[in-house]
Amino acid sequence: MMRSLWLAVMAAVLLAGCGSDVPRIGKIGAGDVILAFGDSLTHGTGAKAEESYPAVLGQLIGRTVIRAGVPGEQTAGGLARLPEVLDEHRPKLVIVCLGGNDMLRKGTPANIEANLREILKTIKSRGLDALLIGVPAPAVITRPPDFYSRLAKEFGIPYEGDIVTRVLYKSDLKSDPIHPNAAGYRKMAEAIAGLLRDAGAL
């Protein structure tokens, strides 16, 4: 009896803690638009357009997700492009996935962080919600640089810092060394959908 009670209490504690550390964002209604903004990881390089993570995410959550990814784009280019894209699509939420090309081209962490900060400032200044995806730095054993999680805390936004690294560590989820395949993009979409639910958006 005591063991059953203890298990029930522990289960309640664990359930209460699930997602509790994820910042809350506004509900995404059926008519709202989500903007997936980034580089080739958002474009879906290595898979068909309908297999990209934004396309699959839209299917999973039943919302309009705009695929606004430019292969090869660095954070400075994204910062310059963002206002026009926001004006065009009028999203309620922007998913930001940038920085990988800067790192491949030996950009300094301080410069990447500064550009991402300005991107997030631009989004928040328009009263929009944001979600940040961390991209691993090029290395044999790697993870996203600390500035991603630091920016997520600074802006109080949901952060997915594991999924891209997990996908790129598995050869069966990649189309080449730095891009997922269709199965890898689906894993990304599933992780982002889960984060949106934890954040109260769905």
Domain that holds residue 32: 26-198
> Looking at this protein, which amino acid is placed at residue 182?
A
Is 188 contained in some domain? Answer: yes
Is 4 contained in some domain? Answer: no
**Strand, helix or coil at 36?**
strand
Is 16 contained in some domain? Answer: no
Q: Which two tokens stand for residue 78?
A: 């994204």
Q: Which two tokens stand for residue 30?
A: 């059926």
pTM of structure: 0.89
Is 83 contained in some domain? Answer: yes
Is 6 contained in some domain? Answer: no
What CATH number does residue 67 fall under?
A: 3.40.50.1110
- The per-residue pLDDT for range 184-195, each reduced to its tens digit, is 999 999 999 999
Q: How many domains does the chain have?
A: 1
Is 15 contained in some domain? Answer: no
> Is the Cα dihedral 165, 166, 167, 169 positive or negative?
positive
- The per-residue pLDDT for range 34-46, each reduced to its tens digit, is 999 999 999 999 9
pLDDT tens across the length of the chain (202 residues): 444 433 343 343 333 334 458 999 999 999 999 999 999 999 999 999 999 999 999 999 999 999 999 999 999 999 999 999 999 999 999 999 999 999 999 999 999 999 999 999 999 999 999 999 999 998 876 899 999 999 999 999 999 999 999 999 999 999 999 999 999 999 999 999 999 999 999 9
Is 7 contained in some domain? Answer: no
